[in-house]
A and B are shown apart, each in its own frame.
Chain A
């Protein structure tokens, strides 16, 4: 039946890593991803395993070493920046440069792929901006300067900016890295809502494994030996999660569906 599904993201024999003239540093290879629309996907793996590299490759920030990536059945190689910006938006971990942008202006920048040469906002643009604020419950913040926001508020505003860009796919690189438990859970709940209610495809790299296990529709596991992707339940049943961390101190508890610390 899988042939009937239209894959929003599909990769075949993808190799990721860094290549220079002298040598090729492959980080992961043989990645075969098939993802359908409207899913919340969590990308898990320990530090330095290549989560960011995978996200950077999927979003065309860096080239693939080999293999193909298809976004909505279009080969990523054939899409230019502008075309890609209409189907894929980003929320990055990097700190924003200091400036005087208001929250409204920041979210409005998300409309850039659609506005004219000088960036005039049309009725349609205003509508998408308004919706983005509503979806993230941040309408009350529009008049503040973005540097006045708390980390939790800023994360929501960055998600609102990605929503204003009106793309099928939103990719987030460790969006909860600086957040407390309260805001981490709020952010994940928001992402879950965006996937289930608004049919967005959301790919998040995160270290919040236990939260991911409860909320994600699909998991992408980057383990030291290979790459495993699939529905969360299926991966739990297959004992795939045991391979995520090669440490004697952590183990996956199948009944709790959580990672726990082993007591020696």
Chain B
């Protein structure tokens, strides 16, 4: 008897080719038209016809496309982890209160700036300033959720605790917003729209380092995640240290989602929708297959969303969060109606 576990080699090859094509399309789109040949030349330090083209690609479009890949894959992996851990198809990367924490941090920084003095106000408008505030906020709220989680045995309760912290922080943000100026509100609103652009290579490097630590942790728990598919009691009876697996899952998700939210804002729906979409192509629950599949699909979908948000050949860029939600919500509805049930 040959092992009847499918390897999905062909599907992976097709996905990778799609990723490369979408990546190139994404880079060739924008307010300035640049021929594809010139784009590829600029990657390899070749002689590009116009110096401005090279600059646009290397300092604007390429960083944005790479950010999209990191954000899309990172959020999708986090979503899958949360869906497996909570055995709930509606769990996403933000159930642990990371986005609400990050939002609170940024809200306090921007909206509370008037209480804090001018120096910090100017710092508030830099990427690093917002990333720092988002990280601190996410870390604090996440710690509160995890501390509460350690007290409860039931994994489901963590989900509800996370939701409650979300309500708490949005209440605080509402109060802050009430006392803020229109200018500050607009600044906060722009952050909450999410953004893939505007990251320097230095910032991308910081993003990448944390991303890779998260990925390494995820790879380490592929096997126990599979046994958790049968529930915690079975997992335990198969020698899995359930508590340790749960903690590593929470840490990996926090790192991935936290760093992504810090640099590009709370990007909605990708983490929730991509795992479900991926499972249409890969009808398996094996994390050895699903994790890379979800990562590549997430990257592809984020690149597509970003390409749409460019409004091809126009000068406007739509908020990325609007695009991901416009795309994510109908998909979940369609899945539910079509299959009448979703697996996770």
Query: Is B117's beta carbon under 8 Å from chain A?
Result: no
Chain B minimum-CB-distance residue to A125: B3
Choice from B222, B223, B231, B240 contacting A81 with Cβ under 8 Å: B240
Question: Are A94 and B233 CB-contacts (below 8 A) given A105-B5, A108-B5, A126-B3?
Answer: yes
Query: Is A89's beta carbon under 8 Å from chain B?
Result: yes
Are B223 and A118 in touch, CB under 8 angstroms? yes
Interface size on B, residues (CB 8 A): 31
Query: Is A61's beta carbon under 8 Å from chain B?
Result: yes
Contacting residues, chain A, for B226 (C-beta < 8 A): 109, 112, 119
- Which residues of A64-121 are within 8 A (CB) of B? 81-86, 88-90, 92, 94, 96-102, 104-106, 108-110, 112-113, 115, 117-119, 121
Choice from A86, A94, A105, A143 contacting B231 with Cβ under 8 Å: A94
Choice from B1, B238, B285 contacting A112 with Cβ under 8 Å: B238
Taking A59-B237, A81-B237, A126-B3 as known contacts, 14 extra A-B pairs with beta carbons closer than 8 A to each other, sorted by chain A number, are A82-B239, A83-B239, A84-B239, A90-B233, A97-B230, A99-B285, A99-B344, A109-B227, A112-B239, A113-B238, A113-B239, A119-B223, A119-B226, A139-B1
A93 CB to nearest chain B CB (Å)? 10
Name the 10 nearest CB pairs between A and B, nearest first: A85-B239, A82-B239, A97-B87, A99-B285, A100-B285, A119-B223, A90-B237, A113-B239, A112-B238, A101-B285
Query: Is A130's beta carbon under 8 Å from chain B?
Result: yes
Report the contact-size class of chain A (Cβ under 8 Å from the partner).
35 or more
Q: State in angstroms the CA–CA spacing of A88 and B239 once bound together.
A: 10
Chain A minimum-CB-distance residue to B342: A98
Residue of A83, A109, A130 ringed by the most chain B CB atoms within 10 A = A109
- Which residues of B138-188 are within 8 A (CB) of A? none
Q: State in angstroms the CA–CA spacing of A94 and B235 once bound together.
A: 13
Chain B minimum-CB-distance residue to A162: B237
Q: State in angstroms the CA–CA spacing of A83 and B230 once bound together.
A: 20
Are A112 and B227 in touch, CB under 8 angstroms? yes
Query: Is A142's beta carbon under 8 Å from chain B?
Result: yes
Residues of A within 8 A of B (CB): 59, 61, 81-86, 88-90, 92, 94, 96-102, 104-106, 108-110, 112-113, 115, 117-119, 121, 126, 130, 133, 139, 142-143, 145, 147, 165
Question: Are A81 and B230 CB-contacts (below 8 A) given A100-B285, A105-B285, A143-B4?
Answer: no
Q: State in angstroms the CA–CA spacing of A86 and B239 once bound together.
A: 8
B129 CB to nearest chain A CB (Å)? 41
Q: State in angstroms the CA–CA spacing of A110 and B5 once bound together.
A: 15
Contacting residues, chain B, for A133 (C-beta < 8 A): 1
Q: State in angstroms the CA–CA spacing of A157 and B232 once bound together.
A: 18
Are A61 and B3 in touch, CB under 8 angstroms? no
Contacting residues, chain B, for A89 (C-beta < 8 A): 237-238
Q: State in angstroms the CA–CA spacing of A165 and B227 once bound together.
A: 13
Query: Is B59's beta carbon under 8 Å from chain A?
Result: no
Query: Is B202's beta carbon under 8 Å from chain A?
Result: no
Query: Is B9's beta carbon under 8 Å from chain A?
Result: no
Question: Are A121 and B231 CB-contacts (below 8 A) given A99-B343, A112-B240?
Answer: no
- Which residues of B1-19 are within 8 A (CB) of A? 1, 3-5
